[in-house]
Amino acid sequence: MKVMSFNCRGLAGPKKKSALKRVLTLEHPDVILLQETLGDGDIIKDRLESWLSGWSFVTLDARGRSGGLAVGWKTSVMKVNTAWGME
């Protein structure tokens, strides 16, 4: 299993989408940890899952002008039964 960490400094705009897709294509991680997502966790989760088919995410909201976390995993590789923050 390959785990990758990526400081995305926000997920707004097409440049972030293409950068994230490029990193995933080059590195082929099974789990990705995203820091500094800079937004509402539910919106970030929806955005990531629409960008990356075959991936699931759990997120934590940003506070102020920094923060925000997202953890993603390939659904074909693993199943998460429960995670903190998921309903």
Q: What tens-digit pLDDT sequence spans the chain (87 residues)?
A: 999 998 888 887 788 889 889 999 999 999 999 999 988 999 999 999 999 999 999 999 888 778 899 999 999 998 887 766 544
Q: Show me where the domains of the chain are located.
A: 3-74
Selection from 50, 47, 68 nearest residue 59 by Cα: 68
Cα 76-4-58 angle, rounded to 5 deg: 60
As a whole number of angstroms, the distance between CA 26 and CA 29 comes to 9
Q: From CA 11, how far away is CA 19, in angstroms rounded?
A: 10
